[in-house]
Homo-oligomer: A and B are copies of this chain.
Amino acid sequence: MTDETSFDDRAAESPILRRSLHDETVARLRDMIIDGRLAPGDRVNEGDVGRRLGVSRTPMREALKTLAAEGLIENVPGRGAVVRAFTRDDVFDMLEALKIIEQEAGRLACARASDADIASLRAVHDRMMQLYAVRSRLNYFKLNQDIHSGFARISGNATLLWAHESIQARMKRIRFVGNGSEDKWAAAVAEHEEMIVALEAHDGDALAEVIGRHIDRTWVRVQDALPERASAAPAEEPLAS
């Protein structure tokens, strides 16, 4: 279960385009939040964390403003940045919204997407099947994000894609935690296959139905891993150990 050690996925980025320091800092902080180095409820000390990332307070503060707008942290006046902690209700809302967006994006994709677009999603799915075959959980998980936002991507609607990815970014930590047991994983893989088949058949209703089922079961799975009232962070490292 531990063929990978770090959650870091920066290596997968485009190799040519060098990002600005701001984007870099935002990305690294995002990673720290997702993989739990910054736990929900933690105060983010600009000086400390900035030193740790090798940037001064100014770009640090700017990155925190960006993350606040993304909904990953909260900026309390006079007290600085706090990693946002999601309640059970918050997570329910996020999944419900994700379901709506993904279903409708799926319908649009069935109506509009080119064969090449569909083939590209099929390719991602095939790679995920291979990763599932060797139980490479972390790499599977990484691609899982892609395939879900993939429907929004090939729907051709940039705003839907933006909304989906924004919400998914907040959920990443939680989905990471609630990745579930062997049989649940198998069921998820089967549903993915159903989705791709529906997409290839341009059957929007069928696709929406599977997506709905899939996300409903995600809610069940995630719910178990969620503490009663507070956030999404058990104290210990949940997966990458």
Contacts and interface: CB of A to CB of B under 8 A. Distances in A.
Tell me if A's interface is mostly helix, strand, loop or mixed.
Answer: helix
A43 interface: no
Contact of A70 (B61, B63, B69): B69
A235 to B, nearest CB: 26
Nearest to A97: B159
A167 interface: yes
Chain multiplicity (copies): 2
Nearest to A77: B20
A94 B159 contact: yes
Given A58-B58, A93-B158, 14 more contacts: A22-B75, A61-B62, A69-B69, A89-B158, A96-B157, A97-B157, A97-B159, A97-B160, A97-B163, A100-B104, A101-B163, A104-B104, A163-B167, A166-B166
19 contacts: A22-B65, A22-B75, A61-B62, A66-B66, A66-B69, A69-B69, A69-B70, A90-B159, A93-B157, A96-B157, A96-B159, A97-B101, A97-B159, A100-B101, A100-B104, A101-B101, A101-B163, A163-B163, A163-B166
